[in-house]
């Protein structure tokens, strides 16, 4: 039975969903890293929040793990490259707490504008400092939204409802989406120059770390107010303190910090800073939503192959998963075939999908084909890591789709360009089973077997008999024999399915047969 570990505190509904779907589940929040490392090898799925740190050593010990699901958005606590290299899918739940986090950011902005926490503390202390806490209106002010994805767009829509002008910086925000939201898309420096309030809603990456820095403050309006409910590290805290002390920044509201839990921080105690302990997603509704979503996503993946909100591989819907399954084996075989006959460096890979298969989500099929292609050359490669490895090696990848197919209901053609040549291999499904139909432009129909021999040869009489004799003398039994050629007497290919692995000396004897150009032993 498939097993899932819930290693952080989570709504009980998550465990209930796993059990209802027929999965075995253990709830063990508060495990130490050593305890997690010792136990993780038992599990197929891991459900976490932010407390569990899934570092490279944990992943190295996770020999059965197939999926990590984060109940929430941020995955700073997961070593995604290590997971990718091991073929572990990493998912998050980007929509479950979008509204909750957006509402918290707006609440922080309002509290900042009217100094509500400071005024509350003063009043509780028996003071009546009405003149001390002079605020500003949000009405008519310009809000700069850095990162206009799920949460940023929620903030923008609500700010527009408060009659604020909204400018947004996001490299992935299309002009059409900006118009739909009612925001003005601008470059970052323009946002800094125009915004009265700036709110951050971007992940923490190498590109975004310190996006609010000393140089950034120099470009901002005097009296700007900063809100960060996204990730600590986006704001240079030392630079922010200096800007607050100098009066360049009127105030800051922070829900996240460079080091968490934040027991100490240079901004604590500053009169113009509001702090909360990473409460952005802390509502009852959000915690239930993300727990339910992560449980459903992990269960769907383990049981059906459906991939939702994955960060390191293409998504596959529950509806598409069963339709893709037979094609997954076909493209894996095509990739493996091409990979086993390739001897020089890869430069480009082209995959053509024709007929019925062209209407499916082909991104996962391309990843699987790449994995099959690269595996003979690289030991640790899988459908998750294959696209990353191809990119790292500057291997160009292209897809083409055609709705019609002349001869078959569906056809997949894989073309590989190496340093010395270009070759192709095509396949289809017959009765749901993978079938090879073309090699290097030569038509040849053959089923895939566990052990096969691939011959290229000149089309001359007597070749089949000589090959059969050589194999018979070596004690190799032939299961099937398939031939193909373009023209009489010209280039030809043969695919021979045999009952077991073949020894190197037998391969040498086959290569010595007259008119044989090349022989390769293949395994599928």
Q: Which two tokens stand for residue 524?
A: 């599928």
Please state, in angstroms and rounded to a whole number, the distance separating the CA atoms of residues 440 and 286.
55
Domains and CATH numbers, the chain: 3-95+285-304 (3.40.50.720), 98-275 (3.40.50.720), 315-440 (3.30.1330.90), 449-524 (3.30.70.260)
Please state, in angstroms and rounded to a whole number, the distance separating the CA atoms of residues 84 and 68.
11
Question: Which one, of 321, 315, 287, lies nearest residue 96 by Cα?
Answer: 287
pLDDT at residue number 157: 97
pLDDT at residue number 94: 80
> Is the CB of residue 28 less than 8 Å from the CB of residue 6?
yes
Pairing between β-strand 184-185 and β-strand 433-439 as defined by DSSP bridges: unpaired
Beta partners for residue 412, in sequence order? 353, 427
Positions of the chain with pLDDT lower than 50, given as ranges: none
Question: Who contacts 500 (Cβ-Cβ below 8 Å, separation ≥6)?
Answer: 451, 476
pLDDT at residue number 101: 94
Measuring CA to CA, how many Å separate 476 from each of 305, 453, 521? 38, 11, 13
244-259 pLDDT tens trace: 999 999 999 999 999 9
Please state, in angstroms and rounded to a whole number, the distance separating the CA atoms of residues 313 and 307.
8
pLDDT at residue number 379: 58
Please state, in angstroms and rounded to a whole number, the distance separating the CA atoms of residues 362 and 356.
11
Q: Which two tokens stand for residue 419?
A: 């340093």
Dihedral angle sign, alpha carbons of residues 189, 191, 194, 197: negative
pLDDT at residue number 310: 86
Helix axes 320-340, 363-374, angle to 10 degrees: 30
pTM of the model: 0.66
Place of tokens 């056809």: 411
> Which residues are tagged catalytic?
231, 260, 278
pLDDT at residue number 380: 62
């Amino acid at each position: 039975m498939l097993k899932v570990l819930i290693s952080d505190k989570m709504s009980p509904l998550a465990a209930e969903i796993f059990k209802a779907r027929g999965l075995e589940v253990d709830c063990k929040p508060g495990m130490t890293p050593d305890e997690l490392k010792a136990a993780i090898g038992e599990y197929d799925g891991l459900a976490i929040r932010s407390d569990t740190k899934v570092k490279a050593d944990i992943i190295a010990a996770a020999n059965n793990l197939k999926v990590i699901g984060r109940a929430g958005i941020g995955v700073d606590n997961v070593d995604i490259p290590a997971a990718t290299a091991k073929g572990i899918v990493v998912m998050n739940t980007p929509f479950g707490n979008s509204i909750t986090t957006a509402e918290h950011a707006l609440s922080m902005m309002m509290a900042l504008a009217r100094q509500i926490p400071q005024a509350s503390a003063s009043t509780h202390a028996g003071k009546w400092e009405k003149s001390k806490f002079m605020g500003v209106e949000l009405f008519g002010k310009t809000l700069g939204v850095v990162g206009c994805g799920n949460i940023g767009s929620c903030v923008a829509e609500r700010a527009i409802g408060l009659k604020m002008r909204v400018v947004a910086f996001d490299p992935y925000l299309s002009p059409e989406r900006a118009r739909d939201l009612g925001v003005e898309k601008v470059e970052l420096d323009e946002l800094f120059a125009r915004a009265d309030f700036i709110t951050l809603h971007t992940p923490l990456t190498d590109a975004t770390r310190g996006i609010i820095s000393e140089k950034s403050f120099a470009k901002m309006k005097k009296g700007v107010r900063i809100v960060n409910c996204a990730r600590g590290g986006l704001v240079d805290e030392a630079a922010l303190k200096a800007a607050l002390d100098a009066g360049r920044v009127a105030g800051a509201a922070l829900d996240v910090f460079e080091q968490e839990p934040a027991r100490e921080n240079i901004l604590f105690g500053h009169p113009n800073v509001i702090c909360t302990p990473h409460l952005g997603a802390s509502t009852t509704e959000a915690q239930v939503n993300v727990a339910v979503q992560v449980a459903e996503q992990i269960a769907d993946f383990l049981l059906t192959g459906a991939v939702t909100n994955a960060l390191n591989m293409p998504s596959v819907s529950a509806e598409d998963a069963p339709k893709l399954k037979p094609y997954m084996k076909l493209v894996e075989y095509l990739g493996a075939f091409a990979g086993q006959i390739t001897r020089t460096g890869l430069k480009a890979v082209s995959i053509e999908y024709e007929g019925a298969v062209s209407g499916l989500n082909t991104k996962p099929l391309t990843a699987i084909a790449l994995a099959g292609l690269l595996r003979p050359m690289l030991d640790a490669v899988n459908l998750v890591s294959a696209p990353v490895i191809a990119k790292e090696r500057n291997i160009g990848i292209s897809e083409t789709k055609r709705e019609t197919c002349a001869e078959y209901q569906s056809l997949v053609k894989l073309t590989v360009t190496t340093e010395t040549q270009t070759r192709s291999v095509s396949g289809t499904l017959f009765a749901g089973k993978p079938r090879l139909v073309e090699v290097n432009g030569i038509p040849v129909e053959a089923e895939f077997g566990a052990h096969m021999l691939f011959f290229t040869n000149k089309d001359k009489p007597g070749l089949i008999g000589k090959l059969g004799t050589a194999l018979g003398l070596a004690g190799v039994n032939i299961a099937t024999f398939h031939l193909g050629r373009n023209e009489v007497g010209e280039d030809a290919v043969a695919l021979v399915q045999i009952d077991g692995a073949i020894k190197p000396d037998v391969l040498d004897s086959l290569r010595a047969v007259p008119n044989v150009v090349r022989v390769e032993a293949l395994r599928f």
